[in-house]
Chain A
């Protein structure tokens, strides 16, 4: 018998955890001498109050959808992929190489090619930790952390020594050619005769991210592979008994996870910067962990959580601009969300379970 009804498990527990995280964030804002209500107002106004704010919110959300999905897929296989940061950085390298090597005539041709490059590089960066976990038993959390640092060093080397145009001092690649520039959401709105989100980075990748949500949902809950991944994640021995190869599932789940993280690069590298710069990922890989935890590792939940974090990111930026609250407030909120929805889950769950048990006893 379940201790709690399903709705309480899926909706009530995370909502209470989230409320706790935000309540403490409000206390932090109070402690540094600002009003939480005023801060929230500035954030809502800055992130959602204009199409300009939305343009940034959606741009950030696109990044977080990809990295959140990456954590989700690995999670269902019982793996904690903390290497989204490195995989997304390598995805950026993949995009840059594809776009710089071939003179693409049109973005519609360049985008699929760049996606392949991004996914391939991201997946390859996840492959080694996956293989080491499956074959040599080294812990995937540690190896993916190490690979984040190795990716950072590698990218630093490539940008300074190989991709940097002659005469440039900036550790960045050359700008991508004009025809490969992705249409911005503002351009598309203009196509419909609407003035929306001028000068914002949100671009067509947002739709790719939405499609990725749907595909991940189909993969996890509607395919044989997804079933195998979930079975393996729930019980490795059970899966082994059912004839599911642990090595195969570990490697495949991590390849998909790495590819999703890598795909983020079509948004930030191809869509926004339009060249590869140092530290292009800016922590989005780690935010994916918070997004996946908050979204209960469901693609729809990830979408909502990514939008919320997009809002926090853009709102936090506005907050730093107009008040004395530094940008790092978002990092604190992110930490509290991870802490309460991820690590302190039982703190909320255990009393709730007791309440529901008591209620049931009374009812029976």
Chain B
């Protein structure tokens, strides 16, 4: 493999990891607050649909983004209602949200656009266009650094940069703010937070809403950034890969960056080389697509480092009377 090919693959990995990263950080907020979320997939899908629809109607990618966030937050509200207010099973609620999104998007899409669950393709201002960073063209002739800057770092949509900026921001919120401390505490020992006079319910709702907003950006990126419009089931399991990345990252923001890059790279490699020839053995593309899941199981099994989830994860908090 020569240098330009490697750059192309890395560039494609960055594009593919963006929705994973946003969804993974979304799950991080929710799960760190003690609310398991296997409905990331559904929230992203709903957001992709609302974003594409509104972007098409208004011819504005930004309004689409807002609609995407609203769509995913609506799903988050349902999850919050079931998991926090009514102390229901968080896993079952997540499953329900996935199906709800999968069905509703097609139902509504068919009603509004009549294109068998697709939205019309988006063009021009209805999509987020690629940004060329300053001096990208001027620096291109510089060996090594030039192409890296021009190809890899420059030339992505704004949402990609937002996703990457979310990593240090999340780290700062979680580890350097009072809100973050409380958020982490509520996922480990909600009773202690309650004793300190802080509302567990409100904190968890806040976390679940942030989760929705980030899933919304992820969905909007899928529909108006990386592709031009909504297609039925377009998330294609990315919500679950994000969940896998979250475990892989051991529920930490910088880890999430690494895990999502790795999984994005797998996808980029599988796209580029349907049958990866390593010389002594040919790796089929199916193996590459299953690799994130296999690695997660291995990590979960605790053979390579141990992933310990937040202690109060999955359990509704019942206030003592």
Q: Is the pair A346, B103 in contact by a Cβ cutoff of 8 Å? A: no
Is B132 positioned at the interface, with any CB of A under 8 Å from its CB? no
Which B residues are within 8 Å of any A CB, using their own CB? 38, 78, 81-83, 86-93, 95-100, 102-104, 106-108, 110-111, 116-117, 237, 240, 243-244, 247, 284, 286-287, 289-290, 293-294, 296-297, 300-302, 307, 309
Is A157 positioned at the interface, with any CB of B under 8 Å from its CB? yes
Q: Is the pair A139, B100 in contact by a Cβ cutoff of 8 Å? A: no
Residue pairs across A and B with Cβ atoms less than 8 A apart, 13 shown, are: A32-B111, A132-B300, A138-B300, A142-B247, A146-B297, A150-B297, A328-B106, A331-B99, A338-B92, A342-B88, A342-B89, A343-B88, A344-B88
Q: Is the pair B86, A344 in contact by a Cβ cutoff of 8 Å? A: yes
Bound Cα distance from A331 to B301, whole angstroms? 33
Q: How large is the interface on A (under 10, 10 to 19, 20 to 34, 35 or more residues)?
A: 35 or more
Bound Cα distance from A50 to B97, whole angstroms? 34
B contact patch SS: helix
Question: Beyond A145-B240, A329-B103, A334-B103, is A137–B294 a contact (Cβ under 8 Å)?
Answer: no
Q: A229 to chain B: closest CB distance in Å?
A: 19
Bound Cα distance from A350 to B318, whole angstroms? 14
Q: Is the pair A138, B302 in contact by a Cβ cutoff of 8 Å? A: yes
Q: Is the pair B293, A146 in contact by a Cβ cutoff of 8 Å? A: yes
Is A332 positioned at the interface, with any CB of B under 8 Å from its CB? yes
Residue in chain B with minimal CB distance to A324: B110
Which of B82, B111, B244 lies in contact with A339, CB distance below 8 A?
B82
Q: Is the pair B287, A153 in contact by a Cβ cutoff of 8 Å? A: yes
Most chain A C-beta atoms within 10 Å of own C-beta, residue among B95, B247, B297, B307: B95
**Residues on the A chain within 8 Å of B307, using CB:** 138
- Top 9 A-B pairs ranked by shortest CB distance? A331-B103, A335-B99, A138-B300, A153-B290, A332-B103, A343-B93, A339-B96, A342-B92, A335-B100
Residue in chain A with minimal CB distance to B100: A335
Question: Beyond A328-B107, A343-B89, is A82–B95 a contact (Cβ under 8 Å)?
Answer: yes
Residue in chain B with minimal CB distance to A330: B103
**Residues on the B chain within 8 Å of A31, using CB:** 111
**Residues on the B chain within 8 Å of A339, using CB:** 78, 82, 93, 96-97, 100
